[in-house]
Structure 1
Amino acid sequence: MNSDMMLSCKRANDLRVFKFAELKAATKGFSRSLVIGEDMNSDMMLSCKRANDLRVFKFAELKAATKGFSRSLVIGEGGFGCVYRGVVMAADDVDDGGDGCLDVAVKQLSRNGFQGHKEWINEVNFLGVVNHPNLVKLVGYCAEDDERGIQRLLVYELMRNKSLEDHLLGRVNSTLSWMTRLQIAQGAARGLAYLHEEMDFQLIFRDFKTSNILLDEDFNPKLSDFGLARQGPAAGLSHVSTVVCSSLFKLLKHVMLAV
C-alpha cells in the first residue's frame, strides 16, 4: 500500500471528507477577517494588500462568458488545459469602453486529479499581488467543486496581439519592425527587473520565453504564466533551491531565427 495515497490506521475511516463548498461557507468565503494563522514562507499563500482585489467568479459565469467553453473560442492549449476568449461583466473600477463588458482570456485547468494545481495556486498568489505595466493582469479566478471534480479557472486581461513567439515564428500575418522588437525586449526586461529587484519580496520568474511574452493592442509586452515562479530567499538567506529551466536556450534560439 502506498503510504502517500492512504493512511493505514484503524481510525482512518473516522475522518470526514469535506466538500470545498462546505469549507468555503464555513469560513465565509475564506474571509481575511477570520484568519487565525498564516505561513509567510509557504508556497501556498502570500499575504498582501492587493490579494483581495481579485474577482471571484462563479463557474456558471465563465461557462456563459465562453459560450460553454466553445472550441471556436480556444486561443491557447497546453498540458494543463485550454485558454478561451470570453466576455464578462466589467467591474465598476475597470475601463470597459462604456459597454459594461470586458474581453478576457479564461484558462480552464484539467479536472483530472491535481495536475497543475500547484501552478494554479502560484498564479493566483503571485499575479494577485504584483502590479506592473509589463506583467499580465489577473482579473480573477474560480474554484468550485461539483460532481465532476474541482473546477479551477483563471481570468486574465485579453492580450490581443498574442505572443512574441507567434510573431517570430510567423504564425500571424504581421511583421514586427526592429524598433518594435527593441521596445518589446526593453519592456520584458523591465517586467523582470520589477519581479527581481523592485518588489517588497523577490520573485524569481523561472519561465522567461517568447511564448510567455504577450502583446497587447499596442504591442506593449507583458510577462505571463507564473506557474513556475518561486519566491526568492528570505531575509538572512543567500539563495533559494530550485531547478534550472531551459527557457533561456529556447529564447536564444528564437532570437537567432528572427535575425
Structure 2
Amino acid sequence: MSVLDTAFVDTELSKKTSIFGLHLWVVIGIVVGAVIVLIPSNLFASLPRAAGAAARALPEIQIDMGKVEHRVVFSDRGASSGESRATSGAETGSFGDENVIGEGGYGIVYYGMLADNTKVAIKNLLNNRGQAEKEFKVEVEAIGRVRHKNLVRLLGYCVEGAYRMLVYEYIDNGNLDHLAYLHEGLEPKVVHRDIKSSNILLDRNWHPKLSDFGLAKLLNSERSYVTTRVMGTFGYVAPEYACTGMLNEKSDIYSFGILIMEIITGRAPVDYSRPPGEVNLIDWLKMMVGNRKSEEVVDPKLPERPASKALKRVILVALRCVDPDAQKRPKMGHVIHMLESEDLLSRDERRIARDSSSSLREEPSASRLEQQTKQ
C-alpha cells in the first residue's frame, strides 16, 4: 500500500507550517527529520559495560537459503553475538520473489517472521565477500546498540561463509519518498553511506524512521575519514567517496543535499528519460538558478507553491550541501540552523556561498541565489 495515497497523509501532511512557508509534507523530512543528526552521544552510555555479563535467553530465527539453514541469535538490546550454524535442510521458499519487499545497491530485503510471530525484514547483502567475518561482526554489533525513535532497529545478523544478512524490525507502511533523516552526534560517529528517499519508512503510527542503518560505517574521533569499498545508490554518492573510497560525515551531507533537491523538484537524482540538459538533477538545478529560473524548479504536483524567498533559501542550502569540495559543505547542525532560520544568511554564510560558487565557473548558483533571495 502506498502511504502517499491515504486520506490521513493527504490531510495531515498538507497542513501549512511556519517553516519556509511550505507544507508539512514538504519540510518534515528536511527540518524535523534532520534533528536525528543531533542524537546525543550519551546513547552509548546506556549500553551494558560488563564485558563478561551472562547472556540472557534469546529467541532464534531459522533463515533458509537454498539447502543451508542459518540460525541468527537476537537480543532485546539489538544485534548481539550473531552465532551462525549451518545444518542440512530443505529449501522453504523463504527467499522467494513473493517475499521481496525491497531491493537496492546493498542487497534484497525479504519479509520474515520470528517464532514469536514478530515481523522482521531480512536483508541479504550482496557483494560482501571482501569483508572479513570479524570486521563485519564488530561493526554490526556496535551499530546494533544505537537506539533512537527515528532509526529502524537492527535486531540481529547472520554470518555464514560468504553470506551476510541483517535482520531489522519490520515497518508496516513501507517507504515514504521525499522524507530525509540523518545521523550524527554519536561517538564514534556513524556514517550512514546510503541516505536516500526510499530508505525513509513509516511505522503503523506514521512515525518516520531511517532504515539500512546497519550498513553504516563507524568513524573514530582520531580519524577524519575511513577508507572503505564504495557502496551506495547511484546519484546520491558523493564524488570524492566514489573516486577515492574515503568516507566521512560530509559524504552523507552530500546525499542529504540531493534529497532536498528531490523534495523540492520531484525529480530523481539521475533521470535518463529527460532531455540531455536535464538528466543530472544537480546540473539542471544549477543551470535553472543561474538563469534566474528558480521558481520553475518546483514540483508541479505540490498542492501549493512555497514563498519565493523560502524556496530560494532551501535551494541554497541544498546547493551548499552538494558543494564539490567536501570541506566546504556545512555540518548537519548548521544545515538545521539555516533551514529553521527565517532570516537571510549571515555575512560569513554569504562569503562561504560565494567561495562555494567560485569553485566551479559553471556554478553561479549559491552566490547568485543569495542575491535573488534579498530581492
Name the CA shift for 1:138/1:211 in 2 (closer, same or farther; >3 Å).
same
Q: Does 1:77 align with 2:103?
A: yes
Count, aligned residues: 169
Alpha carbons of 1:220 and 1:233: their partners in 2 closer, same or farther (altered >3 Å)? Answer: same
Q: Deviations over 1:28-47 (max 9, x none)?
A: xxxx65xxxxxxxxxxxxxx
Pair 1:216-2:242 in alignment: no
Aligned to 1:253: 261
**Runs of 5+ consecutive residues of structure 2 not aligned to the other structure:** 1-50, 53-76, 227-245, 267-298, 303-375
Q: What percentage of aligned pairs have identical amino acids?
A: 36
CA contact (8 A) 1:127 1:137 kept: no
Which residue identity lines up with residue 109 of structure 2 in the other structure?
Answer: V
Contact between 1:51 and 1:129, CA under 8 Å: does it hold in 2? yes
**Aligned-partner SS, 1:85:** strand
Higher helix share: 2
**Residues 1:123 and 1:60: Cα distance change in structure 2 (over 3 Å):** farther
Counterpart Cα distance in 2 of 1:212 and 1:119:
24
Match of 2:117 in 1: 101
Q: TM-score normalized by structure 2?
A: 0.37
State the partner residue of 1:164.
176
Matched, 1:67 2:83: no
Conserved in 1, the CA contact under 8 Å of 2:78 and 2:156?
Answer: no
Distance 2:132 2:209 in 1: 22
Asked whether the 8 Å contact 1:54–1:139 carries over to 2, the reply is: no
Task: After superposition, give the CA deviation of every residue in 1:119-143 in whole Å (9 maximum; x if it has no partner).
Answer: 9658614431201111110111111
- Conservation of the 8 A alpha-carbon contact between 1:103 and 1:157: yes
Q: CA deviation at 1:207?
A: 3.5
Q: RMSD of the alignment, in Å?
A: 3.8
Tell me the amino acid that sits aligned with residue 257 of structure 2: F
Picking from 153, 156, 160, the partner of 1:144 is 160
2:188 alignment counterpart? 201
Q: Secondary structure at the match of 1:196?
A: coil
Aligned to 1:11: none
1:219-238 equivalences in 2 (<5 Å): 219-226=206-213, 227-234=215-222
Unmatched runs of 5 consecutive residues or more in structure 1: 1-31, 34-49, 90-99, 169-183
Q: 1:105–1:220: structure 2 CA closer, same or farther, 3 Å change rule?
A: same
Rounded Cα–Cα distance in structure 1 between residues aligned with 2:155 and 2:210: 15
Q: Secondary structure at the match of 2:198?
A: helix
1:82 to 1:139, Cα distance in 2 relative to 1, 3 A? same
Distance 1:108 1:52, change over 3 A: closer
CA pair 219-52 structure 1, distance change in 2 beyond 3 A: closer
Select which of 104, 109, 112 maps to 1:86: 112
Question: Residue 157 of structure 2 contacts residue 164 of structure 2 at CA under 8 Å; is this kept in 1?
Answer: yes
